[in-house]
Amino acid sequence: MADYINSNILSQSYVHVEPEWLSTVNGKEKQEAIQKIKNIIKLHAEERMKFFLYDDVDIDIAFEDGSIKARITAYGSVCVLLNALTPASNFVANYSSYREGIKLMVSDVARLSDVVNAEVLFQTKSRTKKEIIRVEARKGIVGSLDNINKKINEISNKTKTHKRNSVTTIYNTFLDLHKSILELMDNVNDADDKELVRLSLIDGIKNLNLGKGAFDLTSPMSIKLYDDLLKEREGLVEDLENINNP
């Protein structure tokens, strides 16, 4: 049995359609038509998810009655997927490699969701705006990890390439980053994934350039806020170091 509780959602496709042909059939004929569609989509989704992710990924496919609503979810491990994509990299010790690995994952997950959604539309013969109620390609935990990396990269790019940055701007970005990381860590279910993310983020945050030369420190207020910024980084690193080590 798949362990959904201790796994992370790597990808999820959601399609809600009301194709015109659906209103022209009823009873047994309707049930048989929908079941045929379900079987085809299930096979298609399993093949594509195993190809874009990895062979042992857990797949859950749910259809709701009434109009056709399909939710296709892939559960698995970030660690396993990262190693499948770039097996030679040392993600735990190197934030840069981890960040690039997450980029590859986001690209594959987005492509996978689009492919699965397109197949649902094709099999249900849903093309018009009236027939297509809702289509979503959800990136799951992978998208959340990528969003965190973007926040770190935003700070890094500013402090590496520009001098006289506003301390207020960077400090507020750091506060948002801190909050987002703690929320993310609460949602990482797999223990190995949590450890990989924790150590990689510690490495990335410790290596951010927050030297005085990157900031405009011409006012007493900016100097005070700069000290607060350094303390905020220390606090975030400490929070990450203490996760799973109460």
Task: Say how far apart CA 207 and CA 100 lie, in whole Å.
Answer: 16
Can you name the CATH fold of 8-138? Answer: Alpha-Beta Plaits (3.30.70)
Query: SS3 for 4?
Result: coil
The letter for the amino acid at 110 is A
Nearest by Cα to 196 from 69, 77, 48, 25: 77
Task: Say how far apart CA 77 and CA 107 lie, in whole Å.
Answer: 17
Please give the torsion angle defined by the CA atoms of residues 126, 134, 57 and 86, in that order, rounded to the nearest 10 degrees: 100
- Determine the pLDDT at residue 246: 43
Please give the torsion angle defined by the CA atoms of residues 63, 40, 122 and 124, in that order, rounded to the nearest 10 degrees: -50
Task: Say how far apart CA 42 and CA 106 lie, in whole Å.
Answer: 23
Task: Say how far apart CA 159 and CA 214 lie, in whole Å.
Answer: 5
Question: Residue holding tokens 């056709």?
Answer: 68
Kindly report the three-state secondary structure assignment for every residue of 92-158: CCCHHHHHHHHHHHHHHHHHHHHHHHHHHHHHCCCCCCCCEEEEEEECHHHHHHHHHHHHHHHHHHH
Q: What is the pLDDT along the chain (246 residues), one digit of tens a residue?
A: 445 456 889 999 999 999 999 889 888 898 898 889 989 999 999 999 888 888 888 888 888 766 789 999 999 888 888 887 765 555 555 888 888 889 988 999 999 999 999 999 999 999 999 999 999 998 889 999 999 999 999 999 999 888 899 999 999 999 999 999 999 999 898 888 999 899 999 999 999 999 999 999 999 999 999 999 999 999 999 999 998 754
pTM: 0.84
Are 44 and 119 within 8 A, CB to CB? yes
- Determine the pLDDT at residue 93: 55
Task: Say how far apart CA 87 and CA 66 lie, in whole Å.
Answer: 45
- Determine the pLDDT at residue 88: 52
In the chain, CATH 3.30.70 sits at 8-138
Order of strands across the sheet with 132-138? 58-64, 68-76, 8-17, 132-138
- Determine the pLDDT at residue 2: 47
- Determine the pLDDT at residue 89: 54
